[in-house]
Amino acid sequence: MNAAPRIQTTAGRLAALGFADGARAERLLDELGPEAVGDLALLDDLVGAADPDLALTTLSRLVERDPSVLGTFRADPDLRRRLLGVFGLSAALGEHVVRHPECLPSIQWTRWPALGDLREEMLLAVGADPDTAEPVAEPAADGVTAGPGTPSTSGTPGPAMEALRVAYRNRLLHLATRDVTGECTLAEVAAALADLASVALEAALAIARAEVADAGDVRLAVIGMGKCGARELNYISDVDVVFVAEPKEGVDETKALQTATRLAQGMMRACSASTPEGALWEVDANLRPEGKMGPLVRSMESHLAYYRRWAKTWEFQALLKARPVAGDLEFGQQYVAAVNELVWQAAARPKFVEDVQSMRRRVEAHVPAGEADRQIKLGPGGLRDIEFAVQLLQLVHGRSDPLLRRRATLSALAALSRGGYVGRDDAKALAEAYTFLRQVEHMLQLHRLRRTHVVPADTADLRRLGRGLGMTTDPVGEFTTTWKRHALEVRRLHEKLFYRPLLQAVARLPETEARLSTAAATARLEALGYADPEGALRHIAALTSGVSRRAAIQRTLLPVMLGWFADAPDPDAGLLGFRQVSDKLGTTPWYLRLLRDETAVAERLAHLLGTSKYVTGLLLHAPEAVAMLGSPAELAVRPAATLAAEAAAAVGRHAEDAETAVAAVRALRRRELLRTACADLSGLIDIEEVGQALSSLNDVTIQAALDTAINKVTLERRAPFPTRMAVIAMGRLGGLESSYASDADVMFVHAPLPGAAERDATGAAHAVAEETRRLLALPAPDPPLQIDAGLRPEGRQGPLVRTIASYRAYYDRWASHWEAQALLRARFCAGDAELGREFVALVEPLRYPAGGISADAVREIRKLKARMEAERLPRGADPALHTKLGRGGLSDVEWVAQLIQLRHAGAVPALRTTRTLDALRAAAGEGLLDPADEEVLAQAWLFASRIRDALMLVRGRAADSIPTTVKERVLLARALGYPPEGTEDFVEDYRRATRRARAVVERVFYED
């Protein structure tokens, strides 16, 4: 019988594959037997580990303990790959597997359990009832778990503590296998570690309950602080906690606090005591009031009294992370809610910012001199630089901006970026550095499961770190270079943000000199996460193939632009749009030169194309508009008078052809829509400025179309035009709050010239109104502007155009409350300005009635609003996510403002405005609306308006509801400035804002 095939495992070959000691590796492989030596897949997985020698050593020990492991690995290659990945990084977890090989089949490797399942598993491990977290009377019979019912009261660790450590490390091993194989992000790993610590604390508390008499007499909550509270825990870290307790009904408070103190002490001992299975980690309660000198457990009242009177600035900084993690969670949540009210007022304390800055300098001064340049936590450019900067900005600005009130560093940093407190580039650089440093920290701690933050000097250790991060060409050199680069950038940004918190970001990404080959493009696309790499490669090939100057410049541009597209919400759409625009402009001399020489233009173009189908569509019809991306000044909204003059000139050039004239005006509108959208997505203008710009642009467009229609009708009649005409803006146009998808709500009014027959004048005016609507709605490459006259008297059943005398007669006799409400937005926008002023003066008494509207009218308006809520919401729409008609949405806020105007504008001139937010601000200024309510309503209105505009920008078509599909939600959230993992934050932020607004509506509008 022939011998099994054998790999030529010479020492030199193994060393070339990545083993540091080829001879030793050859010997260990030989000892594993011919089946292992001949297993190429096993060798590949060993070589792929961060430290192949360590992985092989651990495997050899495991096989010596349990020879069946090799068979298990052959049957389950996925298990082999995961475990060898951990073995190559963590000697401590490898030791755990060697001691407990029976743990392998008991772990579900591909799924991390839900928190409830994790809690049940840990409580069962120590013999506690998962439903009550109380100890059971008898320990488990099989010896795998040990109940806390028979503990040692002498302080000697019992079997329950050992069982807790084994169960904990089994799950730690499980998480590490998912971490080292890249199946979960840093945030997911840190959150899972915090959850694992929480359930371990719960199990430890169950052990303590078995030792403490009268444990049921007290409510004890364990409050996680620091990284545990923020759900961003390390593999090995002190778990910072604070204890708060209160007696059960009928129990003396002093006795209850004594019982709670014994429970807390027992819980801490159950985690930190040394056993044959080691310890978990230290439970550190030094962040409690008065630190080590204060009582271990206090009542809630005692905590609050201390924080109100004695707490130092750093203590409020620590409370940013507070979260209930074990014990009585409901009571813990009450505690956190109470202290949060104090935390977010801390910035008002004298010298608050200076105190935080001084604390950071003291922390840095205490780093041992020999460690300072290798400390990734406390040293310059380390994690603390990022955390202190983020926390200071949170505390300073979170007082007035609830969206900044987040525990986790990356989530808070993203919120600061979205709010404009940190520049996007700065936030991105800090997030990347934080992620890198935390990954390094995790790998340092995983090796021996020891709490360390010092990068080792030993080359072998540095090699393991570099390979663990995927750096295989020159692990030591690449790791050191990357680490130093991040540290320098963190220190720069820390000094910029921490000592000058409001300084705006000015850094730009440098232009790369790398050339793009097909192989390099494939690797980049896969690494950057393009959804359709094959399609992307086709676009790249089309752009870069050939020997032309155009192709050469594209090969220079694309390596860096691929990264910018990947930073956008939809990189595939961005690359496709870039190809399409380049196809239209590629032969234009200035286009590629502009992108090559002006990095900001290329980066902004990548962001816009990868974010907005609306912008891409506009650019494809006017690609030369790329030139306006050169500077913020080019994207500034142009004055209405300038646009009106340009539109009038376009109409004059084509006076004989109405359709050509209006086509030129619509092309002007398209260009300005693009300018506004680009400025919007680039964060250069806010949502109020967007509404003002779009409304002014629509005014100019309507005026030009009206002039063209009058000229055409006049030529067709072969007689002078017999009347004056004006267009009255209504709805969002009247409020100067137009969105990208808005129709133009208007009313047409005319006044016959002296001597003109009214019937003839009305016919001519009607013809002009119809022609105006037709010209603006004609099929064309440019977006149409639909003219909607449905708010006119008698609605769609009434005449399209009326004389001003007819309007007066109608309003005097027939006007309803809803029409008076609609007229609150009436504003002259085009045509004869004097006639427009006459119309506005005519409706003033109706929309601003002296003495306000009657109680009956108020009731009728409320009934109408309630009926709209019940009937107009589209079938199947979620009321909580519909931005226009949903609870706390645009309609809710606008009706509050309009009811206040109808009731008080007759006596309060400041309320006489067509704009919603101006009306709310005036109401607050005049004491008619609580300023806090005004702020809540304004925030909800602005948020909903931003979402409606973002929906149009992202999808290229109008919508009112936050989409239900995950992909569309992610794209929308990204367009609004949320990070890739922040989609749920976005939805929750909107729900929170609208819930608060709806509560104000119920109280102010319905007086409920």
Global pTM value: 0.55
What is the SS3 string spanning 465-504? HHHHCCCCCCHHHHHHHHHHHHHHHHHHHHHHHHHCCCCC
The position carrying tokens 């080590």 is 292
Is it the case that residue 336 has pLDDT exceeding 50? yes
* Residue range 303-327: mean pLDDT, rounded: 90
Q: What is the spatial distance between Cα 681 and Cα 635, in angstroms, rounded to a whole number?
A: 11
CA distances from 479 to 467, 520, 947 (A): 9, 21, 42
Q: Name the one residue in this structure whose structure tokens are 């910035």.
A: 347
Main-chain dihedrals φ then ψ at residue 243, nearest 5 degrees: -105, 135
| Mean pLDDT of the region 216-231 | 94
Distance CA 887, CA 548 (A): 58
Q: Is 800 exposed, middle or buried (0-12, 13-18, 19+ CB in 10 A)?
A: middle
**Sign of the C-alpha dihedral, residues 961, 967, 970, 974?**
negative
- Answer yes or no: are the C-beta atoms of 676 and 697 closer than 8 Å: yes
Q: What is the pLDDT of residue 614?
A: 94
Pairing of the two strands 787-788 and 744-752: parallel
d(CA 760, CA 757): 5
Is the confidence at residue 631, as pLDDT, over 90?
Answer: no
Helix boundaries (H) for 212-299: 226-229, 253-272
pLDDT at 504: 25
Q: Which of 22-26, 34-38, 118-122, 511-515 has the highest mean pLDDT?
A: 118-122
Q: Please tell me whether residue 323 adopts helix, strand or coil conformation.
A: strand
Neighbouring C-beta atoms of residue 106, cutoff 10 Å: 11
Backbone φ and ψ for 245, nearest 5 degrees, come out as -145, 160
pLDDT digits (tens, 9 = 90+) for 508-560: 222 232 344 555 555 557 556 677 777 888 887 788 777 665 775 676 577 66
**Residue whose pair of structure tokens reads 């006017």 in the numeric block:** 622
Radius of gyration of the chain (CA): 35
Cβ neighbours for 191, distance < 8 A, ≥ 6 positions apart: 231, 232
Distance CA 799, CA 817 (A): 20
Measured CA distances, 915 to 221, 738, 787, 824, 858 (Å): 49, 11, 20, 9, 21
> In this model, does residue 650 exceed pLDDT 50?
yes
Q: How far are the Cα atoms of 500, 732, 906 from residue 861, in angstroms, in the given order?
A: 50, 19, 18
CB neighbours (10 Å) of residue 301? Answer: 12
Neighbours of 857 (CB within 10 A): 18
Arithmetic mean of pLDDT, 830-844 = 96
Residue 241's DSSP bridge partners are 224
Please give the Cα distance from 107 to 996 (Å, whole number). 44
Pairing state between β 218-224 and 239-247: antiparallel
Q: Tell whether the model's pLDDT for residue 502 goes beyond 80.
A: no
What CA dihedral angle connects 840, 846, 852 and 857, to 10 degrees?
Answer: -140
- Residue at 292: amino acid letter: K
The mean pLDDT of 255-283, rounded to a whole number, is: 93
Question: Is a pLDDT exceeding 70 seen at residue 248?
Answer: yes
Residue type, 211: E
Inter-residue contact 919 to 897 (CB < 8 Å): yes
- State residue 109's pLDDT score: 61
Contact at 8 Å (CB) between 595 and 605? yes
d(CA 554, CA 579): 10
Position 599 pLDDT exceeds 80: no
Q: Which of 757, 679, 735, 604 is nearest to 953 (CA)?
A: 679
pLDDT score recorded for residue 932: 95
Copy the structure tokens of residue 649: 């000139």
Write out the two tokens for 712. 């055409």
Neighbours of 595 (CB within 10 A): 24
Q: Find the distance separating the first CA and the last CA of the chain, reported in whole Å.
A: 92
How much of the chain, in percent, has pLDDT values that exceed 70? 90
Which residues have CB under 8 Å from 274's CB, separation 6+? 157
Nearest of 884, 916, 901 to residue 691 by alpha carbon: 916
Token output for 866? 């309630």
pLDDT value of position 418: 76
Does residue 138 register a pLDDT over 50?
Answer: no
Give the pair of three-digit tokens for residue 441: 């920290």
DSSP secondary-structure letter at 224? E
pLDDT at position 17 is: 81
Is pLDDT at 706 greater than 70 in this prediction? yes
Mean pLDDT of 789-812: 91
The answer to whether 635 and 679 have CB atoms below 8 angstroms apart is yes
Please name the helix (run of DSSP H) or strand (run of DSSP E) that holds residue 222, with its range, or none: strand 218-224
Residue 909 has pLDDT above 50, yes or no: yes
Whether 594 contacts 605, CB under 8 Å: no
SS (H, E, C) 577-646: HHHHHHHHHCCCHHHHHHHHHCHHHHHHHHHHHCCCHHHHHHHHHCHHHHHHHHCHHHHCCCCHHHHHHH
pLDDT at 270 over 90: yes
CA distance 998 to 937: 8
CA dihedral 295, 300, 306, 311 (to 10 degrees): 90
pLDDT for 340-393, tens place per residue? 988 888 767 777 767 777 777 777 777 777 777 888 888 888 898 889 888 888
From CA 14, how far away is CA 21, in angstroms rounded?
8
- pLDDT at 770 (0 to 100): 95
* Contact residues for 637 (Cβ-Cβ < 8 A; gap 6+): 675, 676, 679, 685, 689, 692, 693
User: What is the rounded CA–CA span in Å between residue 185 and residue 190?
Assistant: 9
Burial class (CB in 10 A: 0-12, 13-18, 19+), 757: exposed
pLDDT of residue 501: 32
Instruction: Tell me the pLDDT of the chain averaged across its residues.
Output: 86
Q: pLDDT value at position 565?
A: 84
User: Two tokens at 158?
Assistant: 């019992």
Q: State the amino acid at position 796 in one-letter form.
A: R
Distant-in-sequence, close-in-space partners of 763: CB < 8 Å, separation ≥ 6 = none
- Reading phi first (left if > 0) and then psi (alpha if -120 to 50, else beta), residue 461 is in alpha
Predicted pLDDT of residue 521: 54
What number of other Cβ atoms are within 10 A of residue 439's Cβ? 16
Looking at mean pLDDT, say which of 181-185, 350-354, 415-419 comes out highest: 181-185
Scan for tokens 């329950």, then name that residue. 160
Measured distance CA(688)–CA(39) in Å, rounded: 66
Per-residue confidence (pLDDT) for residue 7, from 0 to 100: 46
What span, in angstroms and rounded, lies between the C-alpha atoms of 628 and 635? 6
DSSP 802-824: EEHHHHHHHHHHT--HHHHHHGG
Does the pLDDT at position 145 exceed 60? no
Taking 90 as the threshold, does the pLDDT of residue 611 lie above it? yes
Q: How far is CA 76 from the centre of its chain?
A: 38
In this predicted structure, the answer to whether residue 721 has a pLDDT above a threshold of 80 is: yes
